[in-house]
Amino acid sequence: MEALKGVRILDMTHVQAGPTCSQLLAWLGADVIKFENPQGDATRAQLRDVPNADSLYFTMLNCNKRSITVNMKSAEGKQVFVDLLKKCHLIMENFGPGVLDRFGFPWEKIRSINPKIVMGSIKGFGSTGPYADFKAYENVAQAMGGAMSTTGVPDGPPFVTGAQIGDTGTGLHLAIGLLAALRQAEHTGQGQYVEVAMMDGVMNLCRVKFRDHQRLAHGPLSEYSVPTYQGMGDVPRAGNDSGGGQLGNAIHCKPNGPNDWLYVVVQEAVWEDLAKRIGPEVGVPDMAADPRLATIGERRKNQNLMWALINRFAKNYTKRELMAILNPLDVPCGPIMSTADLANDEHVRGRDMWVELDHPQRGKWYNVGMPIKLSASPAVIKRSPTLGEHTEEILREVLGYDEARIAALKSAGAFSLPPKTPKKAEAL
């Protein structure tokens, strides 16, 4: 049995943050009904790489869902929406402020239709506060949530991270909130409104930087390779420093390509064995006992020297060869994996984290798999739906509409945009 079997979700989200959440819940077994306007989620056409086919941007975020198209500008479409609300446990949206209100469905109206329903909402900055009406995108959320100011090299510009912590990170936060609220609704019979702001989610993912922000009030941060001092205020950018109690950094290996790097963490417990292995090859046979490096305190003070010696050793090895040397010494390390590395990695494939799917429009493609492994209910990844693919199926199976009613709703334009009327030619 799937973990969320029996849970039905009305998913009005689009682009990335919301669909990340609903896809995860679909992989856990929920029946996710992707509720789209007749034009569909905008990402179906964004960054399209195959003509007349849904883009990878859409397909990779909407697996295991059913799609229904509804024209919410029609009275008939609104009635379909109301009927679906009565049949669902959760509703999700990530519209701009006030969109559902303008359709006539603020939270209080939705709650009156189905008192037990849980509503999940993603906003850039939340529904309260001076930033509430601002627009947000992935990189805006990273900028305003603290990630960019602490990412990059000390004397360079701030960087965004390749991981989509603003969008996908917020979707993951929402999934946790929805499951908690669903659990509460099962006990109380009352739903609630669950909101996650992108800025708030990024702040939560940056909590170690706020740890360091407060530590600076009491003294310098000894593990940082860049200078820090008491009362400094802002947490500095520190390149590839580990940011934890143990020293870590990226080591460049041969043949010195853009991803020929190994990330190495030098724990205190492994220092002696590591130094004995490296020292002779870099001309410092007594490296383990060198007073500049012998203790964790001295290595923190002189970490630039330590990294220089390790880099000198690494130039003779590829990242995989260096990993093979360090692993038997219990040195935590890992190669910088490119997208191509991961797509072809035996470990990744073996854990079903790179899954081949077949789509009626685009043919074979791959999706990142389910990262949460449940022993009793493993996820089965299914392709994303084409636009409106399940409209009639949902009307029949979920709402119990008969063929005559479906036909009448179709004729009334409940599921499609009204035809465009040609403009009259202007008189000369």
Token pair recorded at residue 23 = 């896809």
Compute the distance between CA of residue 205 and CA of residue 199 in angstroms, rounded to an integer: 10
Q: Can you give the length of the chain in residues?
A: 428
- Rounded CA gap, 207 and 243, in Å? 12
What's residue 15's pLDDT?
A: 95
**Residue 422 confidence (pLDDT):** 57
pLDDT in tens, 187-211: 999 999 999 999 999 999 999 999 9
pLDDT at 427: 46
60-92 burial, b at 16+ Cβ within 10 Å, e below that, comes to bbbbbbbbbbbbbebebbbebbebbbebbbbbb
Low-confidence ranges of the chain (pLDDT < 70): 419-428
What domains lie within the chain, and their CATH numbers? 8-205+344-411 (3.40.50.10540), 240-252+261-335 (3.30.1540.10)
Query: Read out DSSP for 337-366?
Result: --HHHHHT-HHHHHTT-EEEEEETTTEEEE
Give the pLDDT confidence score for residue 417 in this predicted structure.
81
Active-site position among 41, 167, 241, 290: 167
| 353-368 tens-digit pLDDT | 999 999 999 999 999 9
pLDDT at 428 (0 to 100)? 41
Calpha distance 88→7 (Å, rounded): 8
Structure tokens at 335: 């190669």
Q: What is the DSSP letter of 327?
A: G
Return all residues near 353 (Cβ < 8 A) that are at least 6 apart: 368, 369, 371
- What was the pLDDT predicted at 75? 96
- State pTM to two decimals: 0.94
Q: Any catalytic annotation for residue 167?
A: yes
